[in-house]
Amino acid sequence: MSELDMNGRVAVVVGASSGMGRAIATTFAGSGARMVLAARREVELESLAHELDCGALTCPTEVREVSAVDQLIERSLHAFGRIDTLVYATGTNIPERSLETISHETWDMMLATNITGAFNCTKAVLPAMQSQSDGLIIYISSACVHSPDISGVSYQASKHALSGLAHGTFQEQKKYGIRTTVVFPGLCDTPLVLKRPVPTPDDVLAKSLQPQDVADACLYVATAPSRARVAELELQPAGL
């Protein structure tokens, strides 16, 4: 058996419809995991499930709505009986990201998507993981937490907050065997790059990470023995 084998484990990937989340779901499924695919876009989820051809459960989910997240976890448990790994890969940014241009409404939307949605998923999945005395939650953050940039105050604030959620959750829940990991990817060629106010030059994008790089890192984290916790993992493009 491969050390990176997820055979029989149940993984919920939130944000599975595109980018890093899609790559993570594909990689986990290829390693034998039983998959739950969650995101807002149902068509993309169904397309991915068909491509994976592994009996994946698709759950269109608005992470900002508590009832929708609760239903996601309930459907996952009904289908598979347990949840071993939850990956929160949902995240967004906006072109109008400076303090001069961001509105109060946009600030609220950014935090609701990037951090409140993560809290909703965390709170919903904890009872199941507690009853199992085992579980792993992986949060996809950003390297801007360690190297501040011009990605915008709402984006950076929400990504910083993921660290607090992850580490605080671990301190409270480690007695139940629950672990958390925060992954900090640098520039990655995903649809989120298209939301930059100034297009990223092609020569820079050519040197960026690919979603598969992040997916491989998450697979490493997800297959670590339960006695080990990867608290944080930063992944940077080598050529930038």
Contact between 6 and 179 under an 8 Å Cβ cutoff? The reply is no
Write the CA distances from 221 to 32, 42, 48, 152, 233, integer angstroms.
15, 28, 23, 29, 9
Q: Please give the sequence-ordered ranges of beta strands (E in DSSP) within the chain, or none if there are none.
A: 10-14, 34-39, 57-60, 85-88, 135-140, 178-185, 232-235
Instruction: Tell me the C-alpha distance between 134 and 174, whole Å.
Output: 9
Instruction: Tell me the C-alpha distance between 61 and 12, whole Å.
Output: 12
Mean pLDDT value across residues 60-80? 98
Instruction: Tell me the C-alpha distance between 35 and 12, whole Å.
Output: 6
Q: Which residues pair with 234 in a beta bridge?
A: 184
Contact between 52 and 58 under an 8 Å Cβ cutoff? The reply is no
How many other C-beta atoms are found inside a 10 Å radius of the C-beta of residue 237? 19
E strand or H helix at 47: helix 42-52
Indicate the average pLDDT of the chain: 95
| DSSP label of 209 | B
Structure tokens at 93: 């940014």
Report DSSP letters for 147-196, one per residue.
S--SS-HHHHHHHHHHHHHHHHHHHHHGGGTEEEEEEEE-SB-SGGGGGS
Q: What count of residues does the chain have?
A: 240
Structure tokens at 42: 């149902």
pLDDT single digits (tens) 185-228:
999 998 878 777 777 888 888 999 999 999 999 999 999 999 99
Q: Which amino acid is at 131?
A: S
Q: Does domain 10-234 sit in CATH 3.30.750.210? A: no
Task: Give the CA angle between residues 3, 7, 8 to the nearest 5°.
Answer: 140
Mean pLDDT value across residues 96-115? 94
pLDDT band at 2 (very low <50, low <70, confident <90, very high): very low
How many other C-beta atoms are found inside a 10 Å radius of the C-beta of residue 238? 7
pLDDT single digits (tens) 27-52:
999 999 999 999 999 999 999 999 99
pTM over 0.85: yes
